[in-house]
Amino acid sequence: MVCRWYEIEGFRFGIRTTSHAFSDWLEYVLAAYRSPSRPDDDGSAATYSIVIEDPEEDGRQRKFHIMYLGGWDIVRTLDLGSMAECVYRDLESILYPVRDDYVFLELGPVDMAGALGLVAPYVIPALNRSARRGAKYGVSTPGGVYAPLQLGTGVMVRPTPVLDVPADAIASLARFMDVADRTERDPFSEPRPVDVIFDRVYVDGVQGLSHPPRGELFQAVFQRVRNAGLLGGVAFETVAETVRNSEVWRGWYGSTNEMYEMYREVGRAVHSP
């Protein structure tokens, strides 16, 4: 295990990883943000922990690479290239509170049987831990706990990177370690309207799925905008557009299987005529 420290916009954080090669890659990518070690640095308190698994003897990757944010496993993937992209994307999120070019919504994107759904951030680790089971339901997450929205339209996008990193940041990983051909792709890499906003709330007397009032759900969603103070009314209008154009659902589940069944049902409902 190796741990190195960085500072972005006054936020100092550690990244520890099981792979020295992956850590060396991060040193190259984040050279502009390196922070000297301090006597009181504690690797166990690092903000990010990244587990990189070696392939099996036959060259196949059967164990997941995992990225933890604190105690949350926000990314779990068999694809090393995908892990690199997710790490880089999450590091970009450190600057979200001081950016005014998108609305940065702290909700996790989920592929619900082909529909783009947004869920509370705490759901993402649960989806990651049972990723193989979720695949049977057509439900998965590309990782991460943010949904950047295009100003005005409310469409979810991948924002323009702004960190001071080398132009070959992602491609350079192959110089530090063996990177197999890509097996996973982010289903939401292109701009896309949000199909579903799902609110996991228990309502006494209500069984199964229901549609909450849009105004009530809007209030809950708007509280999760990271840069609302900078954008003011623009953030309000953008989130309102997202809520207006998506289907809003509410439900409660007590098990992982119930969660997947509910997400699949909602996704199918979105696509039904």
Name the token pair of 155: 């469409």
- What is the average pLDDT score of the chain? 93
Q: Is the pLDDT of residue 46 over 80?
A: yes
- Residue 71's identity, in one-letter code, is G
From residue 63, alpha-carbon distances to 51, 159, 205 in Å are: 10, 30, 42
Q: Would you state the pLDDT for residue 35?
A: 97
Predicted confidence (pLDDT) per residue in 57-98, tens digit: 666 778 899 999 998 999 999 999 999 999 999 999 999 999
At residue 204, the pLDDT reads 77
pLDDT in tens, 87-127: 999 999 999 999 999 999 999 999 999 999 999 999 999 99
Q: Partners of 105 in the beta sheet? A: 147, 225
Distances (CA, A) of 101 to 144, 150, 238, 245: 20, 8, 12, 21
10 Å Cβ neighbour count for 236? Answer: 15
pLDDT in tens, 4-22: 999 999 999 999 999 999 9
- Nearest by Cα to 11 from 84, 73, 83, 90: 90
